[in-house]
Amino acid sequence: MKPIIKIQNLSKRYRLGGNGGARYATLRESLSGMMRAPLAILGRKGRASRPELWALKDINLEIMPGEVIGIIGSNGAGKSTLLKVISRVTEPTEGRVELYGRIGSLLEVGTGFHPELTGRENVYLNGAILGMKKEEIERKFNDIVRFAEVERFLDTPIKRYSSGMYVRLAFAVAAHLEPDVLLVDEVLSVGDMAFQKKCLQKISQMRSHSNAILIVSHNMIAVRAICEKVILLSQGQLAAAGRADEIVPLYEKLMLENVKTETVADEREEGMGIIRVKSVRLVNRAGTEARAFDTGESMKVVVEYEARQRAVSVVAYAAIRRPDGFICMGTSTRLEGVVLPPLEGPGVVELEISELLVIPGYYIMDVTFYDENFEFRTYFLGRKQISFQINSSLPSLDDKYGVFYQKHKWNIDDVNVNSPAHR
Amino acid sequence: MGLTSNENVSALEPAVTKQTATITEASPIRHTSYQVPDNPLVVIAPTKSWVALNLGDLLTYRELLYFLIWRDVKVRYKQTALGAAWAIIQPLFTMLIFTLFFGRLAGISSEGIPYPIFAYAGLLPWTFFSNAISNGSSSLIGDSRLITKVYFPRMVIPIAAVGAGLVDFVIAFIILVGLMAYYGIGLSLNILMLPVLVLLLTLLATGVAMWMSALNLKYRDVRYALPFLIQLWMFASPIIYPASLVPERWKWALALNPLTGIIEGFRASLLGYRNFDWKTLTISAVITLIILIYSAYTFRRMEKGFADIV
């Protein structure tokens, strides 16, 4: 069988600017660069001194019609660059890609949506941007609207949409593309769980329309569920390729090792800045701050925040994640009907976990504040992630035994064997 | 609800849907309806120094061009109290001010026709031109999210910005018709040249806008230089004064400005009070085409790096 995409010796180099992250130049810099250029050509120095980054290096790949391929790898491994080259957004430095079918990309949900335009108008605009013909959009219009569940708000400017509606509409348009090859970049991480499920279902359906799907994702659960073949990229190079159930564990192992080598004080902060999560402290049963806990031990999560503007209908969310992103346990104030008062200024929220029932390993405590109404643009009001470690007195307890280590007891005849973790 | 389309599909292609149900049993043989062509539809490779204009691509994406123009027109006057009236206010008030200062106080010649209509006939194409190049030059930055996410000929963006300006141009034209009626100026056969002049003006604006938009993406200096440049350009064009006011020995310099022939042409065409200056008009047309072709090639050459420098 012949491939639908043929990638040969593909490389992409980025020149890193030396001016503190500003990637666009000013005229003055270019002019002074031109002045130096004659010397640089003589000495061959000017070019070499600029730092380079090979985002992709010698990628060779053939994608067959009907294949659903997951592209995985840590941040900066070149996953998105690969999709960008295939979708012709950016040009390769070396090598070539041959496309034997129409490419449709779902690189970012809602690309080109204009907040002032109505839902109806944006469907047409977005459809055209994604490469649909007007007649094609008209034909699919009703399906798109029904999928997005925004019938009643079709003539409302989308700046008044909740972020849930916005994302649904955006995904609906993109999902109704019928390309020969579909490129998907992390769309699976938008919206709430119910919507993610719907997205996955739709992608499964699209397999029957599309003749090949390439998915970039950090969500290994999704990758395992929908991709037969997985490509692991590492520092721009193709590290491994094969069946999902072979490659995904390889990657997870790699990720875990990375976490282990990083300092335990690893912290990450993001968000829109409306609410800043100042600190997340994990307190053990002795009442002291800790980064290592035992399976079955209690944990108190003390979250110090500061609301920079008055924020209403805020939901606090906390989750224990594995380094690969899998959520072992999550909870939110909304889930349990706890209502937060309007937040203003500094404050503290605490979460008490009476027993940590996960297997030993490295985990991330993800604390997020979000708007209950999922207001557009303020999806994450504030967020902080902090890593911690779980230990166990059972030396061989690891992921062979699953995710959780529940409180349990073996009963064999009249002999009682208690689980040592839960005495 | 979302299942409806799937049901349709399964009715048409039972074999494919059946496969979907058995993802986990990675079967080596897949039945797909897609016939892979012998030759690639697209080959992606680094472009060499020589760049093709690839105008056919532009034709394929004409619907996108239409939708972008439509978006720009729709969005422009949203949340403004006066709406599309702005398209009239801008040239109209400039005309009133010019009439007061240059027509009355400075007493600049208007070749025998009333100064207000003389100025307006020049301001009409000028307002379109200056708005087109200033909107056009910021258009790529404004749509940078599109550039980093989806492929399409990037030329569509500045062209759409210019195209959207044509709508304002038509609205502002109504005032000119009113002024002509007020001053009792009838139409002459010269009006037949109007479409050609509008085309030339649009091509010139497109050329400048494409060039400036590409430069602006790379050098943000353009944002500061352009308003200044536009102001200079206005005084270097026969808008508030007739070309005949310029001393003979400097005529050649004025003719190098492609707007000279076009704006003088507008007056001759609309007001019919004198004949066309064919020589100047030809020079303007040639320079316009040179600018357009140069800009198009420059744009194409820079285009491949857009997504990396935005």
What was the pLDDT predicted at A342?
87
CA proximity to A228, closest of B300, B13, B23:
B23
Residue A417 lies in a domain: no
For residue A369, give both structure tokens.
Answer: 């504040």
CATH code, domain with A254 = 3.40.50.300
Residue B29 lies in a domain: no
Q: State whether B47 and A211 contact (CB < 8 Å).
A: no
CA dist A240 and B266 (Å) reads: 66
Q: Give the one of A68, A88, A117 whose C-beta lies nearest to B151's C-beta.
A: A88
For residue B40, give both structure tokens.
Answer: 């690639």
Q: What average pLDDT score do residues A307-312 get?
A: 80
Q: Do the Cβ atoms of A212 and A53 come closer than 8 Å?
A: no
Residue A154 lies in a domain: yes
CA proximity to B201, closest of B239, B235, B251, B157:
B239
Least confidently predicted of A152-166, A319-333, A381-395, B252-266: A381-395
Find which of A23, A141, A143, A208 to mutate to test the B interface (most B CBs within 10 Å of its CB): A208
- The 3 state secondary structure assigned to B254-301 is HHHCHHHHHHHHHHHHHHCCCCCCHHHHHHHHHHHHHHHHHHHHHHHH
Q: Do the Cβ atoms of B73 and B204 come closer than 8 Å?
A: no
Do A304 and A229 lie in a common domain? no
CA dist B203 and B212 (Å) reads: 14
For residue A196, give both structure tokens.
Answer: 């993610």
Total domains, chain A: 2
Q: Do the Cβ atoms of A137 and A127 come closer than 8 Å?
A: yes
Residue B10 lies in a domain: no
Do A294 and A170 lie in a common domain? no
Do A248 and A286 lie in a common domain? no
Residues 6 or more apart whose CB falls under 8 angstroms from that of A174 comprise A104, A106, A109, A126, A130, A187
Q: State whether B221 and A85 contact (CB < 8 Å).
A: no
Q: Give the one of A25, A94, A100 whose C-beta lies nearest to B37's C-beta.
A: A100
CA proximity to A166, closest of A175, A178, A157:
A157
User: In chain B, which residues have their Cβ closer than 8 Å to the Cβ of A85?
Assistant: 44
Q: Do the Cβ atoms of A60 and A9 come closer than 8 Å?
A: yes
CA dist A197 and A185 (Å) reads: 16
CA proximity to B308, closest of A25, A233, A26, A113:
A25
CA proximity to A295, closest of A366, A349, A363:
A363
Provide the shortest C-alpha distance from residue A384 to chain B (in Å): 27
Q: State whether B4 and A6 contact (CB < 8 Å).
A: no
At residue A262, does pLDDT exceed 50?
no
B236 in helix, strand or coil? coil
Q: How many residues does chain B have?
A: 310
Q: Do the Cβ atoms of A202 and A194 come closer than 8 Å?
A: no
- The 3 state secondary structure assigned to chain A is CCCCEEEEEEEEEEECCCCCCCCCECHHHHHHHHHHHHHHHHHCCCCCCCCEEEEEEEEEEEECCCEEEEEECCCCCCHHHHHHHHCCCCCCCEEEEEECCCEEEECCCCCCCCCCCEHHHHHHHHHHHCCCCHHHHHHHHHHHHHHHCCHHHCCCEHHHCEHHHHHHHHHHHHHCCCCCEEEEECHHHCCCHHHHHHHHHHHHHHHHHCCEEEEECCCHHHHHHHCCEEEEEECCEEEEEEEHHHHHHHHHHHHHHHHHHCCCCCEEEECCCCEEEEEEEEECCCCCECCEEECCCCEEEEEEEEEEEEECCEEEEEEEECCCCCEEEEEECCCCCCCCCCEEEEEEEEEEECCCCECCEEEEEEEEEEECCCECCCCEEEEEEEEEEEECCCCCCCHHHCCECCCCEEEECCEEEECHHHC
Does residue A308 or residue A414 have the better pLDDT? A308
Backbone angles phi, psi at A133, to 5 degrees: -80, 155
Q: What average pLDDT score do residues A236-263 get?
A: 75
B44 in helix, strand or coil? strand
Residue A414 lies in a domain: no
DSSP B154: T
Does residue A285 or residue A50 have the better pLDDT? A285
CB atoms inside a 10 Å sphere around CB A305: 25
CA dist B73 and A206 (Å) reads: 35
* pLDDT digit string, tens, across residues A184-200: 876 555 555 566 667 77
Do A198 and A163 lie in a common domain? yes
Q: What angle do CA A118, A124, A129 make, to 5 degrees?
A: 120
Maximum Cα interatomic distance, chain A, rounded to a whole number of Å? 90
Find which of A30, A89, A135 to mutate to test the B interface (most B CBs within 10 Å of its CB): A89
Residue A153 lies in a domain: yes
B43 in helix, strand or coil? strand
Q: Do the Cβ atoms of A87 and A103 come closer than 8 Å?
A: yes
Q: Do the Cβ atoms of B206 and B291 come closer than 8 Å?
A: no
The H or E element that residue B42 is part of is strand B42-44
Residue B283 lies in a domain: yes
DSSP B91: H
At residue A418, does pLDDT exceed 70?
no
From residue A251, alpha-carbon distances to A242, B126, B221 in Å are: 12, 61, 45
CA dist B49 and B42 (Å) reads: 19
Residue B2 lies in a domain: no
Q: Do the Cβ atoms of B127 and B91 come closer than 8 Å?
A: yes
What was the pLDDT predicted at A40?
46
Q: Give the one of A99, A204, A209 whose C-beta lies nearest to B41's C-beta.
A: A99
* pLDDT digit string, tens, across residues B240-295: 899 888 888 888 888 899 999 999 999 999 998 888 889 999 999 999 999 999 99
Q: Which residue of B has its CA nearest to A136?
A: B63
User: In chain B, which residues have their Cβ closer than 8 Å to the Cβ of A98?
Assistant: 40, 42-44
Residue A91 lies in a domain: yes
CA dist B186 and B171 (Å) reads: 20
Do A244 and A280 lie in a common domain? no
CA dist B23 and B42 (Å) reads: 30
Residue B19 lies in a domain: no
Give me the helices (H) in B77-219, please: 86-98, 115-142, 144-147, 156-182, 194-218
What was the pLDDT predicted at A378?
41
For residue B26, give both structure tokens.
Answer: 């990675």
Residue B225 lies in a domain: yes
User: In chain B, which residues have their Cβ closer than 8 Å to the Cβ of A129?
Assistant: 64, 67, 146, 150, 152
Residue A367 structural domain: 267-401
Q: State whether A89 and B150 contact (CB < 8 Å).
A: yes
Do A72 and A175 lie in a common domain? yes
For residue A395, give both structure tokens.
Answer: 């030396």
- ipTM summary value: 0.79
Do A295 and A383 lie in a common domain? yes
Residue A100 lies in a domain: yes
B113 in helix, strand or coil? coil
Q: Do the Cβ atoms of A391 and A360 come closer than 8 Å?
A: yes
Q: Give the one of B4, B34, B75 whose C-beta lies nearest to A116's C-beta.
A: B75
Do A161 and A294 lie in a common domain? no
Find which of A129, A181, A183 to mutate to test the B interface (most B CBs within 10 Å of its CB): A129
Q: State whether A147 and B151 contact (CB < 8 Å).
A: no
**A166 φψ region: left (φ > 0), alpha (ψ -120 to 50), beta (else):** alpha
* pLDDT digit string, tens, across residues A30-58: 666 555 555 444 444 444 456 788 899 99
Q: State whether B2 and A146 contact (CB < 8 Å).
A: yes
Q: Which residue of B has its CA nearest to A112?
A: B146
Confidence of residue A350 (pLDDT cuts 50, 70, 90): very high
Q: State whether B32 and A87 contact (CB < 8 Å).
A: no
Residue B22 lies in a domain: no
User: In chain A, which residues have their Cβ closer than 8 Å to the Cβ of B79?
Assistant: 116
Residue B89 structural domain: 55-309
Q: State whether A125 and B67 contact (CB < 8 Å).
A: yes
Total domains, chain B: 1
Does residue B222 or residue A207 have the better pLDDT? B222
Backbone angles phi, psi at A370, to 5 degrees: -140, 165
Q: Give the one of B20, B63, B64 whose C-beta lies nearest to A208's C-beta.
A: B20
Q: What average pLDDT score do residues A407-423 get?
A: 68
CATH code, domain with A316 = 2.70.50.60
B304 in helix, strand or coil? coil
Residue B12 lies in a domain: no
Q: State whether A124 and B67 contact (CB < 8 Å).
A: yes
What was the pLDDT predicted at B36?
78
Q: Do the Cβ atoms of B45 and A92 come closer than 8 Å?
A: yes
CA dist A134 and A377 (Å) reads: 29
Find which of B16, B39, B64 to mutate to test the A interface (most A CBs within 10 Å of its CB): B64
Backbone angles phi, psi at A327, to 5 degrees: -90, 115
The top-scoring range by mean pLDDT among A232-246, A263-277, A378-392, B40-54 is A232-246
Find which of B149, B213, B221 to mutate to test the A interface (most A CBs within 10 Å of its CB): B149
pLDDT in tens, chain B (310 residues): 333 333 333 333 333 333 333 333 333 334 455 677 888 888 888 876 666 777 888 888 899 999 999 999 988 888 787 878 888 888 899 999 998 888 888 888 888 889 999 999 999 999 999 999 999 999 999 998 889 888 889 999 999 999 999 999 999 999 999 999 999 888 888 899 999 999 999 999 999 999 999 999 888 889 899 999 999 999 999 998 998 888 888 888 888 999 999 999 999 999 988 888 899 999 999 999 999 999 999 998 888 888 888 7
Q: What average pLDDT score do residues A75-82 get?
A: 85
The H or E element that residue B227 is part of is helix B221-235
Side-chain half-sphere exposure of A262, counting CA atoms within 13 A: 19
Choosing from A213, A232, A258, the residue where a domain stops is A258
